[in-house]
Amino acid sequence: MAKFLLSAFADEAGGGLLSQIRALKENGMTHIEPRGLDYGNIADYTEADCREMRMILDYHGIGVSAVGSPFGKINIEDDFEPHFEKFKRGVENANILGTKNIRMFSFFFNEDQNPEDYRDEVFARVERFCDYSVSNGIMCCHENEKGIYGDIETRCLDLLQTFAGKLKGVFDPANFIQCGVKILPAYELLKDYIEYMHIKDCRYEDGFVVPPGAGDGCLKELLLAFSQKDGDRFLTLEPHLKVFDGLKDLEQTGGADSVSEKYAYPTNRDAFNAAANALHSILKEIGAE
């Protein structure tokens, strides 16, 4: 049985690293997947930046589940070499931060580009990512982002099978929903390759992201299935909830019903807390907390 460890993209709570740490601790989370930080995106962090960050995290007892990098989030026809050089720094930063995982992607496509036509180029680039990271003690973890080669379950399987042993999967149910993929069959297809999971829910009808358990992500069933894996398994909260600055004014004037979406929050921190509370409720319901 898996032991779930709770992590988050805490930049969605707002603020710099210390504010993010407070949000994590106050919501019962022990790890962070760093992305937006005091000095910009984690991909832009220097060795010195990461050493400073590691000292702060260690002091506060927060671990790093994975580096939430944007590597692979360029168009398939963009120049790969400068991107790959930056990736190398990202792998070194992962080692400094004490994680074995770096999140990555399989390249964006325009509407006039057929992903299948670019399979060879995608795989050549992914292989370079994987070979470099594995040789440095880090594992690439591919996320099923909308609009990339691996945005549907069959192409994810193609990648994960081809690079088995040096590429693992990150399962993001909301991203699959936005691509029209059925969640539980997709998990069943990919389960042998999934290293950790993003906790983000969504609705098929409009692609709108909602709190965990309020959408079509089958999170209760999904987490029950994921709990059958062995060892420590990260659940990384990625709220992506709507922050509506004018909500308080509408409530004061009795106009809250005019808000088009039910799930809107006055601040980033409110949105983050709502998503965290929803995740804790699901875990309690399935006996995983």
More confident call, 206 vs 139? 139
Q: For the chain, give the mean pLDDT.
A: 94
Query: What pLDDT score does 245 carry?
Result: 56
Looking at residue 55, its pLDDT comes to 98
Share of the chain above pLDDT 90, in %: 91
How does pLDDT run across 209-244, given as a tens digit for each residue? Answer: 999 999 999 999 999 999 999 999 999 999 999 886
Q: Name every residue whose Cβ is closer than 8 Å to that of residue 215 and which is 6 or more positions away in sequence.
A: 174, 177, 201, 202, 203, 209
**pLDDT single digits (tens) 186-207:** 999 999 999 999 999 999 999 9
How high is the pLDDT of residue 222? 98
pLDDT tens for 1-58 read: 999 999 999 999 999 999 999 999 999 999 999 999 999 999 999 999 999 999 999 9
Please check whether residue 204 is in contact with residue 210, taking contact to mean a CB–CB distance below 8 angstroms: no
pLDDT higher for 151 or 206?
Answer: 151
Which residues are 139's β-sheet partners? Answer: 101
CATH architecture classification, 2-240+269-285: Alpha-Beta Barrel (3.20)
Mean pLDDT score, 178-185: 98
| C-alpha span between 15 and 37 (Å, rounded) | 8
Which pLDDT value is given to residue 157? 98
CA 104 vs CA 25, 137, 272, 284: distances in Å: 26, 16, 23, 31
Q: How far is residue 213's CA from residue 203's CA, in Å, rounded to a whole number?
A: 10
Record the pTM: 0.93
**pLDDT for 53-80, tens place per residue?**
999 999 999 999 999 999 999 999 999 9
Provide the H-helix boundaries in the chain.
Answer: 17-26, 47-60, 80-97, 119-135, 153-162, 173-178, 183-190, 219-226, 247-252, 268-285
